[in-house]
Chains A and B, each alone.
Chain A
Amino acid sequence: MKPIVPKKHEPIRIGFYICHCGTNIAGMVDVEAVAKYIGTLPNVAVSRHYKYMCSDPGQELIQQDIRETHLNRIVVAACSPQLHEHTFRMATAAGGLNPYHFQMVNVREHDSWVHTDRVEATRKAMALARAAVMRVPHHKPLEVKKVAINPNVLIVGGGIGGIHAALTLANAGKMVYLVEKEPTIGGHMAKFDKTFPTLDCAMCVLSPKMAAVGSHPNIHLWTYSEVAKVDGYVGNFKVSVRRKERYILEDLCTGCQECVNACVFKEPKFQDEFNLGLGKRKPIYLPFPQAIPPVTLIDPEVCLNFKRGRNPDGSHTVSDKCKKTCVEACGDRKAIDFKQQEEIKEITVGTIIMATGFQIFDAKRTPYYGYGIYPNVYNALEIERLINASGPTEGELVMRNGQSPKKVAIVHCVGSRDENTNRWCSRVCCLYSLKLAHLIKEHTEAEVYNFYIDMRTPGKSMEEFYNRVAEEGMHLIRGRVADVYPDPNDGTTGRLVVQAEDTLTNKILKIPVDMVVLSVGLEPHPEAENLRRMFNLSCSSEGWFLERHPKLAPVNTFTDGIFLAGCCQGPKDIPDTVAQAGAAAAEALALIDKGHIEQEPNTAYILAEECSGCKSCIPLCPYTAIAFDETKKKAIINEALCKGCGTCVASCPSGSIVQNLFEDAEIFSEIDGVLAD
C-alpha cells in the first residue's frame, strides 16, 4: 500500500489509544478518564481505550480508524516502547501511514506499575499522553535505514556454550571466529567426571564436539587468545584479537607430545592449572589429553630456555641455556619456536556471541570453612578432578595425605544466598552436590553428609535424580554449616569437625569427618567488567551480563548484534547453557540471513542555510561523522556514519542541526505537554 503522506496544510488528525493491559494498566490508571480527556485536546480525532492494544484486534482497531476516519497521526499509551514501539509502528504502516507518524507513551513500566495512588497515576498518564499528542504533529515521514550485514560471527569463550553456538553457526555455513582465553576449549565441563542428572560421562559427550570445532572448515579456532578491541556496530564490528605466544606453531604441531616426553625435566614438577594445582606438569605440556587444539605450549616462567621473569612489556627473553631436547624430539616438524611473539589479528564480523562463562566462588571468602587452611577442605571443582579418571589421581579419590576418606561432609551454598558474599542462588550446586555425593560413595564407600539449606532441584528429571541419590543412603541434613575446625580429639590425621544445626530436629551436630567438600557457587568471570566495557554491554548489579529483557529477549543484549550464551548471563546448568547457545546462534542467523539491518532513522543532518561554519560540532561526534566543506564553509554529516546520539544537535550554537525523531520542536512540545496541567 502506498503510504499516505499528509498534504501540506492538511489538518492534523490524531488517533489516541490507551491500553488496559488487562488490569496491569487499568488497575492503577483510570484509562477511561484518560481517553476522555485526551479526546478534548486539539487535533485529536479519535480517542479510545482498549483491553489489549498489542493484540491483533487492537492493532486492527488502529488500522480501521486510519482508513475510516482519515487519521494521520497515531499515539498509543501502553507499555514501554522497548517492548511494543515496533509493533505499533508496523500497525501504523499497515494502516497506510508512515510508521514514524506514531508516538508511544509508557504508562505501564513508568506509571501503573510503580505508583500506588490512582489519582496521581491517572494524572501522570494524562500528562504523558498529552505530551505525545502535542509532539506527534511535528513528526515527519521517515524511511528505515538499511545497512548490509557481514555474515561472519565472533564467539568469545569456548566452554560448552561457545562450542555449541560455534558448531550451530558453522554447520549453517557461516564463518565463525571462536576466541578462547585458555590454551584449550572445553571450559568447566571439560573438568567434570559425570554430569547430573543423567550421570553420563562429561568428556564422552563433550570431546566429539570439541574435536568437531577443531576440524570444522568454517571455524577459525583461536585459543590462548583474547579480544583486545571492538569498534563499530551491528553488521560491521571491527575486532582486534590478541593471540598470545605459546611458543609452538599451531599449524606444524601434530599433538604427538614427543616433546613433552623429551623435556629435560624428567618428572612433571610444576602446578598444573587444568587440575587446579592438584597435579603436576612440565614446562612444555598439553593441558589435558583431549585438549583442542591438540597443540602443546611452553610456560616461559619455568622453561629453562627463558630468563626468569617478564620484561616490562610482558614478554619473555630467551636465554638459550637449555639443551632443548624438546626441539630435537620435534625434529623435522619444527613446531617449536622460542622466538614466537604475540600477534594481533584484525577481523570484521557482523554479530557477536558472548559465552565467557563463570568462575567458582573463592571459598577463602568464608574463612570459617577453613578452605586454604586445612588441607582436607576442598572445593567441588577439585573433587570433580579427583574423581575424574583422567585427573591427577586417575580417578582415585584420595586426600592430600594419600588416604581415602571414610567420612565426607558436603557443604551446600558456599558463597551463595549469603549477604556477606554473593546473594544469589547458584542454581546448580544442590544438584552437583548430590552428584558428588553419589560419586564419592561409588568411589570410596565413604559415609556422606550433605548439609543443605533448601534442596533446590528444578528442571526436567532433577527431582527424580534427587530421589535416586537419596535412596542410596546419604545423610541429608537440613542446616547450613556454621563452623569447620580440626577435631580436638584427634592428633595428626587432619580429621575435621563440621558443626551445624539440624534444623529439623533442633539438634546441634558436631560431626567428625575426614574430608570437607565446599559446594562453591558460581560468580561472574573476573574479566566480565572489562568485557562489558569493551563490548558496550550492561551488567546486572551482581556482575552478570544483562539480557535485553528477562523474559522476552533473554539472549539479546542492549547492544544490537551481540548475544549471550551460557553462564556469562547467570548461573545455569549444561542443558540450559546449550539451549541458550542455540538460541543465540539462531538470533545471529536471523540477522545474517536477512542480509541487512534496519536502523532507526534517528540520524542528524545540518541545515546548510543556517550553519555558521563555526566547526564546534566536529570534535563532538564520537564517530567522526561530521566533515567540513571548505568551499561552502559548512559542516556536513555523513548519514552512514551517524549513530543518532544527538550530542552535536544539543550543542550547535546556531541551532542548525536537526535530529530525526528527536527534533527540537518535538522535544519542546513534549516538555510543554508534560507541564501543561
Chain B
Amino acid sequence: MANTIQPPLPDGKWKPRIVAFFCNWCTYTAADLAGVSRMKHAANVRIIRLMCSGRVDPQFIIAALTKGADAVLIGGCHPNDCHYSEGNYKCLRRNQMLKRMLADMGIEPERVRLEWISAAEGEKVKRVINELVETISRLGPLGIPQKFEEWDREMSELTRQMSKQQEAVDGGETPVAVKTEVIHV
C-alpha cells in the first residue's frame, strides 16, 4: 500500500523521521502535557499510542526501521511506576536484547532510544525529542528501504549475470532461479 501514496509535501531536504511508541499512562500523557503547556519541539516524531511499553514488540521497532524510520523512541513510566506494575521492566529487558541484534546489523545504538517519562514530565518529552532529532540529524539517514532496493538491484544483477554464465556453460538450458531471501517483518 505504501507505494500507492505520493509523498504529500516533498521539499527535497532530508529530515529525520522518527517513530515513537508511548505508553498510554505516562509518556503519552506527558506528550499531551507538553502540548497543553505549548512546549515547542521538533516535528519529526510520530507517536503511536500503546497501553504499556511492555506491548512494544521488537518487531515493531524492526518494522519501523525497515519501513524508513531513521530512529525509534520508546517511552514508558519510570521504574516501579508502570501502570501494570512491570511492563516497563519487560520492555527494558527486550530492548537490551534488541540493541545487541541491531549492533550486529550495523545499526547505531543511538537509533533506538528508550526513555522513562512520567505523566508530569512534559518538559522531558520536549528535551528527549529535541535531543534525539539532533543526534539523528548528525548520524544521517538510516535508509534501510533504499538499501533494500539496492540489494534487490544487486541481486537481480547477480541473477542475470549468473544465468548468463549458466547459459554459456549449459548452452541454452533454462537457468535455475537464484532464490533471494526476502526478510518479512
Q: Do A and B come from one complex?
A: yes
B64 within 8 A of A: yes
Q: Which 8 A-B pairs have the closest CB atoms?
A: A109-B35, A646-B55, A647-B54, A645-B84, A674-B46, A120-B43, A645-B52, A622-B85
Q: Is the CB of A42 within 8 A of B4?
A: yes
In this complex, what residue of B is CB-closest to A600? B51
In the bound assembly, the distance between CA atoms of A622 and B87 in angstroms comes to 8
Whether A110 touches B8, Cβ cut-off 8 Å, given contacts A646-B52, A646-B55, is no
Q: Is the CB of A131 within 8 A of B48?
A: yes
Whether A116 touches B40, Cβ cut-off 8 Å, given contacts A647-B84, A649-B57, A672-B2, is yes
B5 within 8 A of A: yes
Q: Is the CB of A538 within 8 A of B26?
A: yes
In the bound assembly, the distance between CA atoms of A116 and B54 in angstroms comes to 33
Q: Is the CB of A115 within 8 A of B60?
A: no
In the bound assembly, the distance between CA atoms of A671 and B1 in angstroms comes to 12
Q: Is the CB of B35 within 8 A of A667?
A: no
Which of A236-244, A306-314, A519-527, A539-547 lies at the binding interface? A539-547
Q: Is the CB of B51 within 8 A of A646?
A: yes
Which residues of chain A (643-677) have a CB below 8 Å from chain B?
643-647, 649-651, 659, 662, 664, 667-668, 670-672, 674-677
Q: Output the residue of A127, A672, A676 with the most chain B CB within 10 A.
A: A676
B residues at A contact (CB < 8 Å): 1-2, 4-5, 7-9, 11, 17, 19, 25-26, 28-29, 31-32, 34-36, 38-41, 43, 46-52, 54-60, 63-64, 67-69, 80-81, 83-87, 90, 94, 118-121, 123, 126
In the bound assembly, the distance between CA atoms of A468 and B31 in angstroms comes to 46
Contacts of A108 in B (CB 8 A): 35
Contacts of B57 in A (CB 8 A): 649-651, 664, 667
Contacts of A81 in B (CB 8 A): 49
What is the minimal beta-carbon distance from A25 to any residue of chain B, in angstroms? Answer: 11
Q: Is the CB of B60 within 8 A of A123?
A: no
Contacts of A550 in B (CB 8 A): 36
In the bound assembly, the distance between CA atoms of A651 and B4 in angstroms comes to 32
Contacts of A536 in B (CB 8 A): 81, 83
Contacts of B39 in A (CB 8 A): 114
* B9, B48, B52, B81: the one within 8 Å of A670 (CB): B48
In this complex, what residue of A is CB-closest to B67? A675
In the bound assembly, the distance between CA atoms of A151 and B119 in angstroms comes to 29
A82 within 8 A of B: yes
What is the minimal beta-carbon distance from B13 to any residue of chain A, in angstroms? Answer: 11
In the bound assembly, the distance between CA atoms of A80 and B51 in angstroms comes to 15
In the bound assembly, the distance between CA atoms of A33 and B8 in angstroms comes to 9
Contacts of B54 in A (CB 8 A): 620, 645-647, 650
* B32, B55, B121: the one within 8 Å of A659 (CB): B55
What is the minimal beta-carbon distance from A72 to any residue of chain B, in angstroms? Answer: 19
Contacts of B60 in A (CB 8 A): 667-668, 671
Which residues of chain A (78-103) have a CB below 8 Å from chain B?
80-82
Q: Is the CB of B63 within 8 A of A671?
A: yes
Q: Is the CB of B5 within 8 A of A114?
A: no
A106 within 8 A of B: yes
Q: Is the CB of A110 within 8 A of B32?
A: yes
Contacts of B1 in A (CB 8 A): 42, 134, 672, 676
Q: Is the CB of B48 within 8 A of A667?
A: yes
CB 8 Å contact bits of A423-435 with B (1 = contact, 0 = none): 0000000000000
A126 within 8 A of B: yes
In this complex, what residue of B is CB-closest to A659? B55
In this complex, what residue of B is CB-closest to A661? B51
What is the minimal beta-carbon distance from B43 to any residue of chain A, in angstroms? Answer: 4
What is the minimal beta-carbon distance from A385 to any residue of chain B, in angstroms? Answer: 34
What is the minimal beta-carbon distance from B61 to any residue of chain A, in angstroms? Answer: 9
In this complex, what residue of A is CB-closest to B80? A533
Whether A119 touches B5, Cβ cut-off 8 Å, given contacts A558-B29, A671-B19, is no
A164 within 8 A of B: no
Q: Is the CB of A602 within 8 A of B51?
A: yes
What is the minimal beta-carbon distance from A668 to any residue of chain B, in angstroms? Answer: 6
Q: Output the residue of B11, B39, B87 with the most chain A CB within 10 A.
A: B87
CB 8 Å contact bits of A101-140 with B (1 = contact, 0 = none): 0000010111101111101111110111011001000000
A270 within 8 A of B: no
A41 within 8 A of B: yes
Q: With contacts defined as CB atoms under 8 Å apart, how many contacts are there between chain A and chain B in the complex?
A: 167
A628 within 8 A of B: no
Contacts of B83 in A (CB 8 A): 536, 558-559, 645
In the bound assembly, the distance between CA atoms of A550 and B11 in angstroms comes to 39
Contacts of A647 in B (CB 8 A): 52, 54-55, 84, 87, 90
* A33, A620, A667: the one within 8 Å of B90 (CB): A620
Q: Is the CB of B55 within 8 A of A650?
A: yes
Q: Count chain A residues whose beta carbon lies closer than 8 angstroms to a beta carbon of B.
A: 63
Q: Output the residue of A122, A134, A541 with the most chain B CB within 10 A.
A: A541
Contacts of B28 in A (CB 8 A): 82
Q: Is the CB of A533 within 8 A of B81?
A: yes
Contacts of A651 in B (CB 8 A): 57, 90, 94
In the bound assembly, the distance between CA atoms of A122 and B121 in angstroms comes to 26
A368 within 8 A of B: no
In this complex, what residue of A is CB-closest to B23? A645
* A124, A649, A659: the one within 8 Å of B43 (CB): A124
Q: Is the CB of B121 within 8 A of A82?
A: no
Q: Is the CB of A114 within 8 A of B9?
A: no
In the bound assembly, the distance between CA atoms of A550 and B55 in angstroms comes to 28
Q: Is the CB of A645 within 8 A of B51?
A: yes
Q: Is the CB of B64 within 8 A of A115?
A: no
Q: Is the CB of B64 within 8 A of A671?
A: yes
In the bound assembly, the distance between CA atoms of A110 and B126 in angstroms comes to 11
Contacts of B118 in A (CB 8 A): 538-539
In this complex, what residue of B is CB-closest to A543? B120
Q: Is the CB of B35 within 8 A of A114?
A: yes
Contacts of A115 in B (CB 8 A): 40-41, 43
* B26, B43, B126: the one within 8 Å of A117 (CB): B43
What is the minimal beta-carbon distance from A401 to any residue of chain B, in angstroms? Answer: 46
Contacts of B36 in A (CB 8 A): 109, 113, 550
- Given contacts A115-B41, A651-B57, A671-B19, 15 further A-B pairs with CB under 8 A are A33-B8, A116-B40, A533-B80, A538-B118, A558-B119, A620-B54, A620-B90, A645-B55, A646-B52, A650-B90, A668-B63, A672-B1, A674-B19, A674-B48, A675-B67
Contacts of A131 in B (CB 8 A): 46, 48
Q: Is the CB of A113 within 8 A of B38?
A: yes
In the bound assembly, the distance between CA atoms of A247 and B65 in angstroms comes to 65
* B11, B38, B50: the one within 8 Å of A119 (CB): B11
In this complex, what residue of B is CB-closest to A124? B43
Q: Is the CB of A650 within 8 A of B9?
A: no
Contacts of A114 in B (CB 8 A): 34-35, 38-41, 43, 126
Whether A540 touches B120, Cβ cut-off 8 Å, given contacts A645-B84, A667-B60, A677-B5, is yes
What is the minimal beta-carbon distance from B180 to any residue of chain A, in angstroms? Answer: 22
What is the minimal beta-carbon distance from A601 to any residue of chain B, in angstroms? Answer: 12
In the bound assembly, the distance between CA atoms of A114 and B80 in angstroms comes to 29
In the bound assembly, the distance between CA atoms of A138 and B124 in angstroms comes to 34
In the bound assembly, the distance between CA atoms of A121 and B7 in angstroms comes to 15
Contacts of A674 in B (CB 8 A): 19, 46, 48
